[in-house]
Copies of this chain bind each other. A is one copy, B any other.
Amino acid sequence: MDVADLSPAQARERFRAGERVPTAGWCRGWAQANLIAVPKRLRYELLLFAHRNPQACPLLDVGEPGAWSTKLFSGDLRTDLPGYRLYRDGEAVADLGEVTGEWREDLVPFLIGCSFTFERALLAAGVPVRHLEARTNVPMYVTGVPCRSTGSLSGPLVVSMRPVPGELVETAVEVSGRYPMVHGAPVHVGDPSAIGIGDLARPDYGDPVEVRAGEVPVFWACGVTPQAAVLASGVEYAIGHLPGHMAIMDARDDDYRVG
């Protein structure tokens, strides 16, 4: 069965069984989300950080302290993603396939919209998506653009990049703009150096993709941004998803479409 045809429950089962793979193109029609779980003492700060940086951190759902499922994610957040990253004192200390033993009782899970959610709409509008064609992970970059900080959380904006043929940029902006809860319209079109990205061939997360003649790099705010804030702010303990290895939600792409 093509992974695009799997249900969220079927995909989660495969990840629980050990499959570790980026989720772009999986479960056609179902929304995907970024995970960031932080200690309860930071939950207000993180919620406020999300509110202050809505394009990077559109919040789909929040769990109770210690909970491993939420209203919109009926699976087990500790095992049902294809990859996790563990943070201690502002450093990424391990990439793991499951985090049952690491899921402390005071961790509060936040699920944040992912731009994979509008890729089906891009394709439907005739906009090619290179990392889907290449079956690789989307390239992601830490920019030089600072997020709006809170008392204890600050950090740079992270973006994903898709090369778009010049004549289709307007369409890509318009189509993704209809999905504000999964990052919406691009934050930048064109020159990577304008947002502090040095080399497109060397993404900070995910895999590089070819930018062909006549194509323009288009940058969308990315839900890995809270993980960059965890790093930059020296947060004592946090669990994120492995970038590109998302939570498959019990919500449809179209639930986040506006207009």
The stretch of A5-13, A43-51, A246-254 that contacts the partner chain: A43-51
CB-defined contacts of A43 to chain B, threshold 8 Å? 44
Checking B51, B151, B259 against A47 with a beta-carbon cut-off of 8 angstroms, the contacting residue is B51
Q: Say yes or no for A59: interface residue by CB 8 A criterion.
A: yes
Checking B44, B59, B151 against A44 with a beta-carbon cut-off of 8 angstroms, the contacting residue is B44
CB-defined contacts of A47 to chain B, threshold 8 Å? 44, 47-48, 51
* Nearest B residue (CB) for A151: B64
CB-defined contacts of A44 to chain B, threshold 8 Å? 43-44, 47
CB-defined contacts of A59 to chain B, threshold 8 Å? 51
How many angstroms between the C-alpha atoms of A151 and B65 in the bound complex?
11
- State the A residues within 8 Å of B (CB): 43-44, 47-48, 51, 59, 62, 64, 151, 259
Q: Can you name 12 A-B pairs with beta carbons within 8 Å?
A: A43-B44, A44-B44, A44-B47, A47-B47, A47-B48, A47-B51, A48-B62, A51-B51, A51-B59, A51-B62, A64-B151, A259-B259
